Amino acid sequence: MVEPIRRSTREERERWLKEAHYNLFMLRADQVYIDLLTDSGTGAMSDRQWSALMMGDESYAGARSFFRLKDTVERLTGFEYFIPTHQGRAAENVLFSHLVKEGDYVPGNSHFDTTKGHIESRKAHAVDCTVDEALDTQLEVPFKGNVDIAKLEKVLEEHNDRVPFIIVTVTNNTAGGQPVSLENLRQVRRVGDKWGKRVILDSARFAENAYFIKTREEGQGDRTIREIVREMFDLADGMTMSAKKDGIVNMGGFIATRHEDWYEGAKRFCIPFEGYLTYGGMNGRDMEALAVGLEENTEYDNLHTRIHQVEYLAGLLDDFGIPYQRPAGGHAIFVDATRVLTHVPREEFPAQTLAAQLYLEGGIRGCEIGYLLADRDPVTRENRFYGLDLLRLAIPRRVYTDNHMNVIAVALKNLFDRRESITRGLRIVWEAELLRHFTVQLAPAVD
């Protein structure tokens, strides 16, 4: 599928950005030339997926398409119990409604913002146990998404009876699309077994994670992606899935688990929140397309082509000396904004400032994964400035060509060349209490 594109002038973009309150989510898609806001739901479906759509069974209950998807998920993951949901955060909502209680502690590796939101909105704590290496963007280590086992142990020592489960996000989106090694998943499993805790994989990009295990982890090179995927899930008890990423569909998600009690618990929330158990927020036709997408995206060649394109963009940034979270992640390049806009104070949101500047420069829309996204501390209401402040350039699957990557890199270079002249950033005019980055309204720190 292709769509016509329209180029805009800098004057137009200045006006549109101001109208959007310097929040790129509020732009119209037509005002964007190359859209790197997210890789979620923005992939291009294949010929086989489009033809599978025609086979959708839209029966309210017991649809053939449900069983086809359930069988595919079980074959890939070994999880017998399956609940479709309309997207990943809905899977979190349904499962966490059963599992997370006020005062709980949920350790994990850089919980995604909706995951954190679903924990904190239940007055529980999302405890980040990501390895410290992830905080140094220039450090070249293969599995920066890993869980720090000592940090995880500490949470369990202090709060054992308040820990409902451990959650591992593969790949670790917030830390830069960085993978988690099989060895790390084994260690997490051992800790879980020791303390009697179950492990959930937040699996939005599980196939990309398996690709990195195959290509970066010792002894894994000869295995197929599906063998690695199966071992990853064998080490877990259940999964939440945003199918909009590695499922390559525009909408969809699910919960899958090997435990009947989790399934029974989650079922009670699926029906009122999502829908009856055999569609849970998805059309039959979308379940068909997802079943095909999961098969296609657990093939090495497909993953290789995709991740190679992200690496190609990284190579161009290397040529220009532009700092990003190294090594390149699976779905995106994360430019280290605090190393680019060194004069913009953190209170003025360097990564969001860089996102706004890149849009003005080339009509390219990226996404801040930084201080805005981090929200305020729920207790102190202070901004959380202790993580990374990154500009994510997410690459949709099977959509853009390498020439688009060239345009993106050159636009960034233009910006990088005049970085010294950018000294002021943005200030918040209005913000929501939770998940503020979607709707925040900003203005230049100085008018």
DSSP string, 322-335: --BSSSP-SSEEEE
Report the number of secondary-structure helices (H) and strands (E) in the chain.
15, 14
Q: Give the type of residue at 39.
A: D
Q: Which two tokens stand for residue 8?
A: 């805009």
Look at the alpha carbons of 300, 301, 306, 312 in this order and tell me if their dihedral is positive or negative: positive
Contacts of 414 (CB under 8 A, 6+ apart): 361, 362
112 counts as binding ligand F0G under rule CB under 6 A: yes
245 an active-site residue? yes
Strand ranges inside 231-343, DSSP E: 238-242, 253-257, 332-336
CB of 286 vs ligand F0G, minimal distance in Å? 13
| Interface stretch with ligand F0G, choices 109-117, 185-193, 207-215, 342-350 (CB under 6 A) | 109-117
Whether residue 242 contacts residue 89, with contact meaning beta carbons closer than 8 Å, is answered with yes
Strand ranges inside 352-440, DSSP E: 364-365, 367-369, 390-394, 426-430
Nearer to ligand F0G, 242 or 357 (CB): 242
130 counts as binding ligand F0G under rule CB under 6 A: no
Nearer to ligand F0G, 160 or 439 (CB): 439
Nearer to ligand F0G, 89 or 344 (CB): 89
Instruction: Find the binder of ligand F0G among 31, 209, 242, 257 (CB under 6 A).
Output: 242
Strand partners for 240? 202, 255
Whether residue 277 contacts residue 270, with contact meaning beta carbons closer than 8 Å, is answered with yes
Token look-up 């970085």 returns 419
Nearer to ligand F0G, 306 or 348 (CB): 306
Residues 37-56, interacting with ligand F0G (CB under 6 A) = 38, 40
Taking residues 194 to 233 in sequence order and writing x for each that binds ligand F0G by CB under 6 A, - otherwise, the string is --------x-x-----------------------------
Of these residues, 112, 165, 206, 371, which one is catalytic? 112
DSSP string, 376-403: B-TTT--B--SS--EEEEE--TTT--HH
| Interface stretch with ligand F0G, choices 107-115, 117-125, 219-227, 428-436 (CB under 6 A) | 107-115
CB of 417 vs ligand F0G, minimal distance in Å? 29
CB of 32 vs ligand F0G, minimal distance in Å? 15
113 an active-site residue? yes
Instruction: Find the binder of ligand F0G among 23, 65, 77, 87 (CB under 6 A).
Output: 87
Question: How many residues interact with ligand F0G (rule CB under 6 A)?
Answer: 15
DSSP string, 120-145: HTTT-EEEE-B-GGGG-TT---TTTT
169 counts as binding ligand F0G under rule CB under 6 A: yes
Please give the residue ranges that form the binding site for ligand F0G (CB under 6 A). Answer: 38, 40, 87-89, 112, 114-115, 169, 173, 202, 204, 242, 244, 253
**Residues recognised as catalytic:** 60, 112-113, 202, 204, 245, 437
